[in-house]
Structure 1
Amino acid sequence: MNVRTGGPRLLRLGERDAAARDTIDALIGRAVRGLPGMRAPESGDRFVFTLRDDPPVAAGTSLRYAAIVALGARFLPADGQREALGGDSVDDLVGALVARLEDTGPSAVTSLGDVALVCWAAAETGHVGLETALARLAAADPAGGGPVFTVDAAWVVSALAAVRDAGGTPEAKEHLERAGRRLLDGLRGRRLYGHAVGGSGLVPRYRAHVGCFADQVYPIQALARLGGDREIAAADTVAAGICAAQGAGGQWWWHYDARTGDVVEGYPVYSVHQHAMAPMALLDLADAGGADHLDAIAKGVRWLAAPPETGDTLLPGTEPGEPIMTWRKVARNDPRKAVRGVRAATTGLRPGWRIGSLDRRYPPVAIDRECRPYELGWLLHTWLVPSSRE
């Protein structure tokens, strides 16, 4: 199937930057061709955790990644869904995911983020299992439940906002109001989000001030979908912070000081941040009435073709026999993640304190030749939206 979207987001990108549009258009085709090879064998509800190098070698499974794939693939036409999902429809996949939420045995789903993603997918697709998913989400995220990771908190809001848009229930509305307050309160007194909201104890003290890129984009998206003046203003604040920090080459950096907005450690730079997650959050914000950051989006997409760190592309060829995914990231030659730990500790003691010799000792020249299904799911979710959320 030839996926040529012509959707409003891709058209808007093309008006600003034709090369960036062409890159995204090509990646959408790669995603549809590549996803069948990421389906976990003999599994109706999971995709592999990762697919490495050439020839592709699969490892692990992930229900979370399957839910994200469902959120993206739902925008494909029926034949495209079956091509991308190895013969299944998105409704089939979501049904299998909801069924997994009912498992109370050793393989029961216990992650709040996983439950929220399945609930979100069920709401967006109008699946008959939404009531089951909502009940599991309420049980996984009780009132007064203590601190949660920021990403999970954001996914809860996005899921419940989708439930609200689908008609909702009084109980789901109350849960959404509570989850929205928790997410807003997590930004209080800070310029960006840390790694947890709703209390302390989940993150070691030495890095409690640090938030990763995911801790910024998922709340931007959730607050935009929640709507309201306070929510949009908060999302605008976080979006302005990550855009101000964006690298000269278009890099969306990895770790930030939530107190100041400064970059703590830039690497790894992930391809999914460049082509999907940053555009996803920033476009949702613009559609909700927030600021326009299309230039930053285009700049981030351009980085994929020629990252200055390596001189090599993150977009491997598509000739017969070659891999068709996007390589996962550019990273430092730092297998023990020493730079990340040192910079979290030093900036915790004094904001902005950097040991420059670490950049020379651990240069960012390594390309991680793997791809994960959620990267392709978020790509489809971001760019195949048929109309804006106005």
Structure 2
Amino acid sequence: MLQDVIGRSKYDDFAGEGVDRIEALDPKLASARERLPELCDLAVNGLRRMALPDLHFPHTMRGVGSRNGSGVIPEGDNLRYTINVAQGLAWTTEAQQRSVLDGKTAVDLALACIERAAKSGEPGAIALAAWAAAETAGVFAGELFALLETSLSHDNSIQTVSCAWALTAALAARHLGPTAEVQRLASRLLLLHAQSDSGLFRHFTPANAAGFARGHVGCFADQVYPIQALARLGYMDGDRVALRAAEACAARIVALQGEAGQWWWHYDTRDGSVVEGYPVYSVHQHAMAPMALLDLNEAGGTDHRAALAKGLGWLDRRPETDEPMISAEDGVIWRKIGRNEPPKLVRSVAAVTTAVSAGWHLPGLDTVFPPVKVDRECRPYEFGWMLYAWRSRGVVQALRHQTRRY
């Protein structure tokens, strides 16, 4: 496996220059500029508590009690989340990385995930590991790209998120090795099959792979990762079609953003409406929306930073509940606010009713199942993506620079 990993240059030779995205925020967004360093420090401290032996990270940290300060315990082991941690920690100081990783660095972590991803056979993990290998460690993981090419070229369905990660990985690594076919296949699937006329992206390509009740539904993740991938493609290759596709999706989710800054969860890709807003996930507020929309802006697209600041504000002030979302004592930001309901009941009902007729929602659900429940867990990728979103420097610009060098 490792003989198929070829390193040619450090990605951060260029990207490490300049200020991070917090410092680059408009002074008018003062509250976000003041809050974000505290949140990023919390992320580093939280990851330090989450780290497991041998460069592994858990699936989640579960709250022990019902109040802040009562502790959290790790559950499971998650490869995807471990890769996300490497991607985020890469933008912290070496001392911080070593304090989290028991003396190792983000490069060590990214490299350790390559073989695990290849053995997993899971397209999402493979794409993330290939992306992290290139961007974090400056190496080309050839076996991973061969696996991605196979996954993308078959007629079987693939999740839109995995497809977007494959495209981003191909762009990150193309100055290191041959990724043109993965780029071609992934961009074709996203632009021709996954995106609907509303600008929103479906959960699977092709859409009918999701079945009657889910074929029209795209979740928030299905929107942000294609925005990021297509914005980068548009910037690197001057691809106006890709940039317009990213712009259309971003404009729609921003238009649908809640009054208190909520980034909603499930969308109807046919008419661009909300299928079901809850749960509202904290990672969408502090990491995933910023990561995608800041990339879009740096690629020459619309500046949505005011919407991002509004979304961040939801973490501290929200209409759903007064219960804190942030627990510095436990080193976490609680995962989400959802409804008081049997698991996924309202989402399932909304998917079916909107499948029958776009925009049809059963009345009274907010009253019967109010969105007041805080999910007291926190997953490592949430902090990895936060650090990546806000502490990174010149990522999009570096991609074009590296491509020109090679």
Whether TM-score is above 0.5 comes out as: yes
Query: What residue is the counterpart of 1:176 in the other structure?
Result: 183
Distance 1:231 1:300 in 2: 26
Helix, strand or coil for the counterpart of 2:108?
Answer: helix
Match of 1:18 among 26, 30, 42: 30
Deviations 1:191-244 (A, max 9, x none): 3111112x2453121221011100100110110111110011000000000000
Distance 1:37 1:132 in 2: 33
Gaps of 5+ in 2: 1-16, 64-69, 398-406
Deviations 1:161-202 (A, max 9, x none): 1012x3432xx11220121111111214343111112x2453
Gaps of 5+ in 1: 103-107
Query: What residue is the counterpart of 1:157 in the other structure?
Result: 167
Aligned residue identity for 1:15 = P
Distance 1:132 1:143 in 2: 16
Deviations 1:92-116 (A, max 9, x none): 11221112245xxxxx302100100
Match of 1:75 among 91, 112, 121: 91
2:299 aligned with 1:288, yes or no? yes
Q: Quick check: 15-24 or 263-272, which moved more? A: 15-24
Aligned pairs for 1:1-390 within 5 A: 7-13=19-25, 15-40=27-52, 42-44=53-55, 46-53=56-63, 54-102=70-118, 108-128=119-139, 130-139=141-150, 141-164=151-174, 166-169=175-178, 172-185=179-192, 186-197=194-205, 199-227=206-234, 228-316=239-327, 318=328, 322-387=329-394, 389-390=396-397
Distance 2:107 2:18 in 1: 24
Aligned residue identity for 2:276 = E
Distance 1:142 1:264 in 2: 29
Q: Percent identity?
A: 45
Shift, 1:368, TM fit? 0.8
Shift, 1:6, TM fit? 9.0
Distance 1:218 1:115 in 2: 15
Distance 2:369 2:384 in 1: 32
The structure-2 alpha-carbon separation of the partners of 1:80 and 1:14, relative to structure 1 and needing over 3 Å to count, comes to: farther
Query: What residue is the counterpart of 1:105 in the other structure?
Result: none
Distance 2:336 2:302 in 1: 28
The structure-2 alpha-carbon separation of the partners of 1:250 and 1:160, relative to structure 1 and needing over 3 Å to count, comes to: same
Deviations 1:304-341 (A, max 9, x none): 0012100233122x3xxx21211111110113211101
Between Structure 1 and Structure 2, how many residues are aligned?
370
Distance 1:37 1:120 in 2: 25
Helix, strand or coil for the counterpart of 2:43?
Answer: helix
Deviations 1:284-308 (A, max 9, x none): 0000011110110000000000121
Displacement over 4 Å in runs of 4+: none
Aligned residue identity for 1:34 = G
Shift, 1:153, TM fit? 0.8
Helix, strand or coil for the counterpart of 1:330?
Answer: strand
Shift, 1:129, TM fit? 5.8
RMSD: 1.8
Distance 2:212 2:259 in 1: 31
Shift, 1:346, TM fit? 0.7
Q: TM-score, normalised by structure 1?
A: 0.91
Distance 1:309 1:24 in 2: 22
Aligned residue identity for 2:108 = D
Q: TM-score, normalised by structure 2?
A: 0.87
Distance 1:101 1:382 in 2: 23
Helix, strand or coil for the counterpart of 1:334?
Answer: coil
Aligned residue identity for 2:143 = T
Q: Quick check: 333-342 or 64-73, which moved more? A: 333-342
